[in-house]
Amino acid sequence: MQTLTTQVAIIGAGPSGLLLGQLLNRAGIDNVIIERVSGEYVLGRIRAGILEQGFVDLAREAGAAYRLDEEGAVHEGFSIAQGDRAHRIDLKTLTGGDVVVCYGQVEVTRDLMQLRAAAGATTFYHAADAKIHEPLSANSRVTFRYEDQDYELVCDFVAGCDGFHGISRQTIPQKLRTEHERVYPFGWLGVLSETPPVADEIMYCKSQRGFALASMRSNTISRYYLQVPIDEKVENWTDALFWAELRRRLPKVCADRLVTGASIEKSIAPLRSFVCEEMRYGNLFLVGDAAHIVPPTGAKGLNLAASDVAILYQALRRVYDDDDRSSLARYTEVALRRVWHGERFSWWMTNMLHNFGDMTVDGMAGATFSRFMQSQLDYYLGSENGRRVIAEQYVGLPYEKI
Ligand code: RFL
Ligand code: PHB
């Protein structure tokens, strides 16, 4: 067994783990990251595309926004289409100046990986069997296997940044966590393609055939999603089938100008709302998807991960700079307040924009539920105040100081 020592052990090298690691590095707080898969594998997961201002500000504070500031596209609005009619949500005007930035999670991750490598900070990729020991004692540590060698990482704190399927959340005894979950009866089939996007701004499309999203990564790379049944298999979708179905769900003017091409990536993501109510267990802190999941309809998952990172980072600075551990006790409360706002918004957008068909929802027939949702969407889109409510949440609610 090889023993190493650090101040903060970080489990998971997704955006949460890497961003926290980068902030801690800049503050002179030693940290080691343990990641189960390879760096290339992490970069192969195509996910988020929309960053709130709060995310961008935190990336700047971390010194990680040099490429984001250069290449990220500022979006001053987006659209919600119902059939052939598109309603623009003018984010900038409705919020008094706030916008979002379109810059892929893959690029955020790549930038953070490069900074970490340049700083010479330790990351173990391909680390197997990570386990957290004694998070309640002064003898906290993480063990794992790396290249046929057993390691023990002795630390002050563990940041559980290991996503929904990680081990960190399971380390908190079941009786100490309350888990809230809603699994939706559909998933999103996503395609990335080297084709010009169908519109300059993102478009959320409600249609009789199901929801579709037209997004992008740049002027030459498009990202599209289709609502599909939960048990759908990606093998059933040739590129031709995907484009044909997308065309049927886009407003006609967009469908007519859709440029199609070979898919670079195609995958199905299930939709889920999930919150673990207890994000701390002694010296262990859950961050990002390890503690909560939102359906992607509000573009909130990565952004909520970033607000967790900001809060934990502030609390750790207090510990190491001022020898003050009192903020640690407020981590769960402060983080969850913002998380629940993101959960509510994502759940609401998902309900309004998807087609639940004849499935029973919230104890009522699908047809009844869809009338309520249609009326709700019409009401919000039809008034400036309604559009402002959407805009204010889409750009992201303010970060709370701990
Ligand atoms: P991640 O990205 O899942 O990273 C966790 C890392 O932990 C590793 N790991 C382990 N390492 C060591 N030992 C173990 N036992 C481990 N178990 C797991 C994993 O290999 C992985 O590298 O979580 P993190 O860092 O908290 O980041 C969260 C975001 O990835 C996620 O919230 C977003 O992608 C969600 N999301 C979106 N968020 C937005 O803010 N805006 C968007 O536009 C947006 N679009 C999306 C999305 C997610 C999507 N999918 C596929 C779920 C679109 C989609 C389709
Ligand atoms: C994306 O570009 O991948 C994306 C954009 C907005 C969302 C979800 C995903 O709400």
Return all residues near 146 (Cβ < 8 A) that are at least 6 apart: 124, 126, 127, 128
- Tell me 327's DSSP state: G
Q: What is the pTM of this model?
A: 0.97
pLDDT the model gives residue 300: 98
Return all residues near 211 (Cβ < 8 A) that are at least 6 apart: 204, 205, 225, 226, 227, 249, 297, 353, 354, 355
pLDDT the model gives residue 148: 97
Whether the predicted pLDDT of 162 surpasses 90: yes
Tell me what the mean pLDDT of segment 55-67 comes to.
Answer: 97
15 among known catalytic residues: no
Whether the predicted pLDDT of 252 surpasses 90: yes
Residue of 15, 197, 251, 296 marked catalytic: 296
Can you give the residue ranges of every domain in the chain?
A: 2-52+104-180+272-363, 184-269
Tell me what the mean pLDDT of segment 32-52 comes to.
Answer: 95
Return all residues near 310 (Cβ < 8 A) that are at least 6 apart: 54, 58, 399
pLDDT the model gives residue 381: 98
Listed residue (397, 394, 175) closest to 281, CA to CA: 175
By most ligand atoms within 8 Å of CB, the mutation choice from 52, 225, 293 for ligand 2 is 225
**In the predicted model, what is the mean pLDDT of the chain?**
97
Listed residue (111, 15, 91, 102) closest to 299, CA to CA: 102
pLDDT the model gives residue 67: 97
- Structure token digits, residue 183: 């699994």
- CATH superfamily for domain 184-269: D-Amino Acid Oxidase, subunit A, domain 2 (3.30.9.10)
- Structure token digits, residue 142: 């993480």
Tell me what the mean pLDDT of segment 58-84 comes to.
Answer: 97
- In whole angstroms, give the CA distance from residue 186 to residue 230: 4
**Relative to the CA of 217, which ligand 2 atom is closest?**
2
Whether the predicted pLDDT of 376 surpasses 90: yes
- In whole angstroms, give the CA distance from residue 209 to residue 211: 7
- Cα torsion 321, 322, 328, 333: sign: negative
Whether the predicted pLDDT of 356 surpasses 90: yes
Comparing 2-52+104-180+272-363 with 184-269, is the CATH topology the same? no
The CATH number of 2-52+104-180+272-363, from 3.40.30.10, 3.40.50.300, 3.30.413.10, 3.50.50.60, is: 3.50.50.60
CB 332, CB 290: distance < 8 Å: no
pLDDT the model gives residue 299: 97
Residue of 204, 281, 313, 399 marked catalytic: 204
HSE-CB at 329 with a 13 A cutoff on CA atoms is 3
pLDDT the model gives residue 81: 98
pLDDT level of residue 362 (50, 70, 90 thresholds): confident
**Relative to the CA of 299, which ligand 2 atom is closest?**
10
